[in-house]
Amino acid sequence: MTVNEIAKTLEELAPLAHAEDFDNVGLLVGNPKMKVKGILVTLDTLENVVDEAIAKNYNLIVSFHPIIFKGLKKITGSNYVERVVLKAIANNIAIYSMHTALDNNKMGVNAKICEVLGIKNPKILIPKVKSIKKLTTYTPLADAEKIKTSLFDAGAGEIGKYSNCSYSLEGIGSFKAESGADPSVGKVGEVHFEKETQINVIYSFEKESAILKALFSSHPYEEVAYEIITLENTNQDLGMGMIGTLETELTEKAFLLMVKERMNASVVRHSELLGKKVNKVAVLGGSGAFAIEAASKSGADIYVTADLKYHDFYRAENQMVVADIGHFETEQFTKDLLVDYLTKKIPNFAVSLSESITNPIKYL
């Protein structure tokens, strides 16, 4: 398989269009046409990870965090980012990053945290806005089912656990083919009236190119009438963080001790305990201060995240407990998720979990 083929497999799990605008995801280093000898999965691409790939004779590193985040004006090896890039290029190793494309996925980073902590029925905490679109088009009655099938095959009409969703209306369309046109129905120079079906389907924004291609290839008209609008509906399958419930209620202290053990956290920093039972839990891997209010409004008893500053611990207004267990600690199991996914998608291919330690934070 080539780097590009592996990338397409990864994008089936986490399309790059799902990443946040500020992020840098996808293939960061390397030739997309290069044949892959083996894949090393890591949280961070550091020099020791590149050395590990060299030792294992692997030439693709799949990393959660992007090693190149800001633009590089020069590559001289003056810092750890430049040294990684230089070493990867010198040894013909490609680097692919997923980051917030996987953060926003309902089967991604936060789903893995929920799995480890035993959080049941998790849902997206902050659904992504303006990510659902609606396509409306008009077609002769006889072609409606063929066009709908083509749109469904391209990914339109998927709502939660339902597929092939659409809404149709019948009416009369009119048009006049001018000189030079080649109409499939009607005659040039004459106003034509056609019994038509109006087809309405919704879709996730990253599928738009494939859906329009399907529309144009299946539609009989020379000029296809269609309109696209962006909906205000929130996308329940896409977004940051997750919230769910415990199978059995715990005291706040018992829950935090469980989190510390299962997440291999050296320290748990938390706000004042409120003396309530913990049933509803919100989680967000990585820097999650921005979601404190959302977690509180969602009725969480405890919010588990990382990288909180001093004043962030006040922001829950004593409505819930806020816990910071560390950035690496919240995201560490992402590596296992990716190895499991790649192993199932491309069996009999060399995929390894990196043994290199990349957590920059140490504790006494």
HEC assignment per residue over 91-105: CCCEEEECCHHHHCE
- Which one-letter amino acid corresponds to residue 197? T
63 near 54, Cβ under 8 Å?
A: no
18 belongs to an annotated ligand binding site: no
272 belongs to an annotated ligand binding site: no
Would you write out the chain's pLDDT as a tens digit for each of its 364 residues?
Answer: 999 999 999 999 999 999 999 999 999 999 999 999 999 999 999 999 999 999 999 999 999 999 999 889 999 999 999 999 999 999 999 999 999 999 999 999 999 999 999 999 999 999 998 999 999 999 999 999 999 999 999 999 998 889 999 999 999 999 999 999 999 999 999 999 999 999 999 999 999 999 999 999 999 999 999 999 999 988 888 999 999 999 999 999 999 999 999 999 999 999 999 999 999 999 999 999 999 999 999 999 999 999 999 999 999 999 999 999 999 999 999 999 999 999 999 998 999 999 999 999 999 8
357 near 332, Cβ under 8 Å?
A: no
> Position of tokens 């509180």?
296
Q: CA 185 from chain center: how many Å?
A: 44
The region, left, alpha or beta by phi > 0 then psi within -120 to 50, assigned to residue 231 is beta
H helices present in the chain, as ranges: 3-13, 47-56, 80-90, 100-103, 109-117, 144-153, 208-218, 252-262, 292-297, 327-331, 334-345
- CB within 8 Å of 164: residues ≥ 6 apart: 148, 152, 157
The Cα 92–Cα 84 span in angstroms is: 12
Please return the burial class of 161, using the count of CB atoms within 10 Å of its CB with bins 0-12, 13-18 and 19+. exposed
Domains and CATH numbers, the chain: 3-101 (3.40.1390.30), 109-126+239-330 (3.40.1390.30), 132-233 (3.30.70.120)
Q: Nearest 5 degrees, angle CA 71-CA 75-CA 80?
A: 85
> Position of tokens 């092939």?
164
CB atoms near residue 143 (< 10 Å): 18
Residue 298 DSSP symbol: T
20 belongs to an annotated ligand binding site: no
The Cα 262–Cα 248 span in angstroms is: 16
Angle between helices 47-56 and 80-90 (to 10 degrees): 20
103 belongs to an annotated ligand binding site: yes
- Which one-letter amino acid corresponds to residue 323? A
Q: What's the pTM? A: 0.90
